[in-house]
Amino acid sequence: MSFELKGKVIEVMPTQQVTDLLKKREVIVEYAANPQYPEEIKFECIQDKCALLDSVRPGQDVEVFFNLKGRKWTDKTGKTSWFNSNQLWKINVVATAQNEPAF
C-alpha cells in the first residue's frame, strides 16, 4: 500500500549496516494534520534508498512517499509478534518562501 504525507523533518539518522546484505536509514518527520497534537513519524529507507536522505536536513518541509509494510516474527520461545514499518521510497523538499517575516 502506498501513501504520502507532508511534514517537517525532525531528525535524519546515519545509515546502519544491519547485516552483511542489509543497510537502512531512518528519518523522523513531524506530521501536523491536527497542529494541536502533531505526530512524530519514523520512516525507513533500505538499501539504495538510503541515499535519498543525503540532502535532507532537520527543519525542512518535505513530502514523503512511502509503503506501509507489516511482518510477523516468531522468537525462540514460539511467541509471535507483528511489526509495522513505513518504508520510504521518495522524498521531496517542499519549496518555502525565503525570509518570510515571522508573526
pLDDT in tens, 5-45: 999 999 999 999 999 999 999 999 999 988 899 999 999 99
- State the pLDDT confidence band at 102, using cuts at 50, 70 and 90: very low
Query: Under DSSP, is residue 45 helix (H, G, I), strand (E, B) or coil?
Result: strand
Q: How many residues does the chain have?
A: 103
Q: Which residue ranges form the domains of the chain, and what is each CATH number? A: 2-93 (2.40.50.140)
User: Where would I find the H helices in 1-103?
Assistant: none
Sorting pLDDT into bands at 50, 70 and 90, what band is 96? low
| Cα angle for residues 91, 92, 93 (degrees, 5° grid) | 125
Quote the cell numbers at residue 19.
547485516
Q: What is the pTM of this model?
A: 0.83
Q: Is the pLDDT of residue 51 over 90?
A: yes
The secondary structure element, H or E, covering residue 91 is strand 80-93
Please report which confidence band the pLDDT of residue 99 belongs to, taking 50, 70 and 90 as the band edges. very low
Helix (H) or strand (E) holding 12: strand 2-12
